[in-house]
Amino acid sequence: MATMAMVTVAQLVDSVAAKRVLLDVRWSLAEGADVDAYRAGHLVGAVFLDLDSDVCGPHSPDGSGGRHPLPDPAALQGVLRRAGVDDDTAVVVYDDGSYMSAARTWWTLRWAGLANVQVLTGGYPAAVAAGVPTTTEVPAPEPGDVTVRPGALPVLDAGEAADLARRGGLYDVRAAERYRGEVEPIDPVAGHVPGAHSLPADRIMADRGRGFRPPAELAEVFDGIDTAEAGLYCGSGVTAARTALAMTSVGLPTPAVYIGSWSDWTSDLHRPVATGDE
């Protein structure tokens, strides 16, 4: 059984885990992996992972699979073993508090069959503010023996996403103007999957985009959504994973994610596209 999806700084400090690995995955969509921030200071014992090269798979030349595709299970297993992860290891993931890379890492590790994975509430800034010790020393963990068993979380491909949209259960978590097709800063086509509902990710985030809204407010955002039958997508499967984390954090079933998302959908220009407030 999976543990709770989030852990507070106080819980992290107070907990006693026989085996625990901290993963620092600070990253941004614009700049990529923030290894400079890690080198400048990180939580003691934390291992740095690059979301693009360690957690996600390589891009396909034709764009299929999206900008952040699923990793090869053997490659992910190697990354996690080098980070010191065993099958019974508790893993805590943190980023800058935006939960973008931390959520996608949490989702990927849960998909890979790891049950005890949590995201640190508030990320690195919250830990520093609470006085948790930091260091510039890069750890050299003993290799772990974790076995990756993919498929523990539901994943949608393009056809399954289209079917779910026709049944009214697909949610687009990109900004509303991207959903409506008014702007598209990254992908070649603007709009959304026909039949998908708009559920902008800014509805789940606190002010300034750091941390989730309080649980009661999240519950209101997700009211009426049958997450056990729902699917999420975004631009490339990162923001959708964050919304999946938010749903899980308030006790809802973790929804399916169309991991290729809009970047995969638009890799085939024959797929239909809707615009406006459909």
Question: Which active-site residues does the annotation give?
Answer: 234
Helix (H, G, I), strand (E, B) or coil at 231: strand
Residue 4's identity, in one-letter code, is: M
Instruction: Provide Rg for the chain, Cα atoms.
Output: 18
| CA angle (19 as vertex; 18, 21 as ends), nearest 5 | 145
Q: Within the chain, where are the H helices?
A: 9-14, 35-40, 73-82, 100-111, 123-129, 158-166, 176-180, 215-221, 239-249, 261-265
Burial of 50 from C-beta contacts in 10 A (0-12 / 13-18 / 19+): middle
Cα 251 vs. chain centroid, distance in angstroms? 17
Measured between alpha carbons, how far is 112 from 206 in angstroms, rounded to an integer?
Answer: 29
* Two tokens, residue 234: 């975004």
Rounded to the nearest 10°, the torsion over CA 231, 234, 240, 246 is: -100
| CA angle (91 as vertex; 90, 93 as ends), nearest 5 | 155
Torsion 94-99-102-107 (CA) sign: positive
